[in-house]
Amino acid sequence: MEQFVAANLGRQLTLDELARAAATSSRTLARRVQAGLGMTPLEFVQRVRVAHASHLLETTHASVEDVAARVGYADTAAFRRVFRRYVGETPRGRHGNSRARRSPLKARESPAP
């Protein structure tokens, strides 16, 4: 299911679509995901989206708005709320912190006036 979600990040996925991709009924999928992962299938989709967004923020120079759109959020404010809920920091914080981790000297250097 994770591969299907990752391949369709930009789309709004429904429980019925996820069930079809898993070749099962919506109800069976919901029960299996809840039993195996402790969450609903749609919460699983959100977590996959956030994981991909986190990776993009850490490894690219894309804006938060671009990353939100790439992982299926048309509303940037909603993306920020979901991201913060799962990651514990804002997307912009993750973006800035990852740059500092990748380039500690540049983060401390400032150009001479």
Which one has a higher pLDDT value, 36 or 110?
36
- Domain extent for 51: 2-108
Structure tokens at 37: 């992962």
Instruction: Look at the pTM and tell me if it is higher than 0.85.
Output: no
Name the domain count of the chain: 1
Assess contact for 68 and 53: CB atoms under 8 A.
Answer: yes
Structure tokens at 19: 């069930």
The CATH number of whichever domain residue 27 belongs to comes to 1.10.10.60
113: in domain? no
Residue 102 has pLDDT above 80, yes or no: no
Compute the average pLDDT of residues 41-66: 94
pLDDT in tens, 8-30: 998 889 999 999 999 999 999 99
Distance, CA of 113 to CA of 103 (rounded, Å): 22
Distance, CA of 45 to CA of 51 (rounded, Å): 10
pLDDT in tens, 70-85: 999 999 999 999 999 9
Burial class for 112, CB neighbours closer than 10 Å (0-12, 13-18, 19+): exposed
